Chain A
Amino acid sequence: MPTTLQGPSGGPLPTEAQAAARGAAWESALAGGQLPEFVVERLQAAAQGRLPWLSTMTPAELRLARSHGIKPIATVSGTCWYQYGRSWTEGHAAGWRAALQRLRAEAIVCGANAVVDVKMRTVHTDLGASMDYTLLGTAVRMEGLPASPDPVVATVPALEFVRLLEMGIVPVGIAVGARYQWLTGYLGYNDLSTRPLPTLGEFWESVRRHAHAELRADAARQGTGVLAHTQFSQLLRQEVDKQPPNYLGRHIVIGTVVETRRGDGVPHHLQTVVDMRDDVSPLLNKARGPAANNLHDKEGGI
């Protein structure tokens, strides 16, 4: 076991010039909406079985994947570091969509049919009004299927992916809806009043409905339905000297897009069991699935 640090694929560390060349390759690749040559090579080698596969699957998922003819190929990712100088809300939508695009690009190079177990991640650093939007998942190949020109992106783990497929439901992608709006004015209440505030209520309802409409439109481009697992909303008040206050409402909703037919049956029987796993059990762990804490709400104007 070597205890000195090696270069990425063994051997000596890259020289400064080699590291700079690598940086330049990333730069031109990202600018051109492509992947650098060395990433393409690695992913293709993994697809052909010349490199060990890398999978985020648990052994239970690997077991089910094997029995259902699903082979892991490589861990694929998409990252976009986005500055939301103008709009925090719209920045989130744009950031996640760009990351999804890049994740798909890696999956295509792998010759994958699907990416499963896609997780939303972000690095927690304070670099101004910006954050990184990262998607990470395992590209898989289904036995007997040719490589897909447009692999499906499933935010569910491999276990659930297989179950959904058996039920005729295909998770195909991620949809985002985001909306922010301003409201200015006195709401006409005082400390003693007990009554609804229709102006604010209608405003807030409109923000949410717009976000949901955008989610629906984004989902319609990809599939027949969307399961919205992440919802985030904020209603903020900004005081203005000797003027009516401003209200900012913002709402973001993110979901897994599915392709399914109405009224399809569920072919499985349910059995009730006592689970032997400890605290990490996927049966008991409610936080499983796309993380909900991937919205960075510390920064950003609107």
Chain B
Amino acid sequence: MADTQDPIPQHALERMKGLRSQNNRGGVFTSDFSVNEFLLVRKAGFEPVGLCVGSCIYHVGVQYGGWSKNQEMTVLSQAMYQAREHAMTRMREEARDMGADGVVGVRLEVKRLEWDQNILEFVAIGTGVVHAAGHTAFKGPGGAPFTSDLSGQDFWTLLHAGYRPLEMVMGSCVYHVAHRGLFKTMGSVGQNVELTNYSQALYDAREIAMERMQHEAIRVQAEGVVGMDLHEGSHNWQPHVIEFFAVGTAVTPIAAELAASTIPDPQLVLSVNS
């Protein structure tokens, strides 16, 4: 045992001794990538630098909607929007400080503190990455790091689809769904009917959230938004108050645009490691 030579490369041994910091900006990198994610980010030509975090604890407060009115709860919308924006901005600042070109795998979470239901904690966390060969063309709008909620795998795929991420765009709308009047309710008891004022409220709220997100995409001059999703949530508000939250990654074609015909056709496969 004692006389076997360890087949570990010299640089790996040095790294374990903590001597390799000169090759890594800021020393050792930190990341919450899985092994597969790490491999594919590297395959895409990027190296992780460090975990970037931004958080914002916000007293959201209370707003009451008119009983029989469909309306946006602008005070709450503003709170949810500003808090998320603060968390994202702080994360982006940390990424800039560590010299990252962008942040991938961003998770944006809202948590409630158990001792006060009006306080919400917003956390944005992702891995800052740099281009391994030092290309700067991958930076986001205004030379700031790009942000994206795509995983490392999706990041690789996006680049191979001929697009690069610009910014994680979002739109939120907190909406009060009107209560139905007593006479209206009594008139439709026992019937199968559409409740149009409810349908209308959902349409309006979703439309506002989507338009806000689209407006952010316009501002960063994106061609489109990929992986968009709409979440509905109620953060312990009254039962008639709903939040619609639209989020996605704004993308732009890579400068030397890939011809669609050069994209290799993927093969059909059957996964065997289930």
Chain A residues engaging chain B, CB cutoff 8 angstroms: 1, 3-6, 8-10, 13, 19, 22-23, 26-27, 30-31, 39, 42, 51-60, 62-64, 66-67, 69, 72, 75, 77, 79-87, 90-91, 94-95, 98, 121, 123-127, 130, 132, 134, 136, 163, 268-278, 280-281, 283-284
Smallest Cβ distance from A164 to chain B, in angstroms? Answer: 12
Smallest Cβ distance from A29 to chain B, in angstroms? Answer: 9
Cβ A52 vs Cβ B223 within 8 A? yes
Partner of B228, one of A55, A127, A281: A55
Contacting residues, chain B, for A30 (C-beta < 8 A): 196, 199-200, 203
Cβ B227 vs Cβ A56 within 8 A? yes
B109 in contact (CB, < 8 A): no
A51 to B225, alpha carbons, bound, how many Å? 11
B16 in contact (CB, < 8 A): no
Cβ B225 vs Cβ A86 within 8 A? no
Cβ B191 vs Cβ A85 within 8 A? yes
A278 to B222, alpha carbons, bound, how many Å? 29
Smallest Cβ distance from A241 to chain B, in angstroms? Answer: 23
Which residues 200-246 of B sit at the A interface, judged by CB distance below 8 A? Answer: 200, 202-204, 206-208, 210-215, 217-219, 222-230, 232, 234, 239-240, 242
Contacting residues, chain B, for A79 (C-beta < 8 A): 199, 202-203, 206
Interface size range on B against A: 35 or more
Smallest Cβ distance from B176 to chain A, in angstroms? Answer: 11
7 A-B contacts (beta carbon < 8 Å)? A52-B217, A57-B226, A57-B227, A59-B227, A66-B263, A270-B269, A272-B272
Among B81, B150, B151, B161: residue with most chain A CB under 10 A:
B161
A-binding segment of B21-29, B82-90, B119-127:
B82-90
The dominant DSSP class at the A interface is mixed
B265 in contact (CB, < 8 A): yes
Smallest Cβ distance from B58 to chain A, in angstroms? Answer: 12
Write the chain B residue with the least CB distance to A134: B202
A269 to B266, alpha carbons, bound, how many Å? 11
Smallest Cβ distance from A294 to chain B, in angstroms? Answer: 13
Contacting residues, chain B, for A27 (C-beta < 8 A): 196-197, 200
B40 in contact (CB, < 8 A): yes
Partner of A31, one of B191, B196, B248: B196
A30 to B197, alpha carbons, bound, how many Å? 10
A120 to B151, alpha carbons, bound, how many Å? 25
Cβ A19 vs Cβ B72 within 8 A? yes
B8 in contact (CB, < 8 A): no
Cβ A123 vs Cβ B226 within 8 A? no
- 11 further interface pairs, Cβ-Cβ under 8 Å (given A10-B215, A10-B219, A52-B214): A4-B82, A8-B208, A22-B204, A54-B228, A57-B226, A59-B150, A63-B162, A69-B260, A85-B191, A125-B239, A132-B199
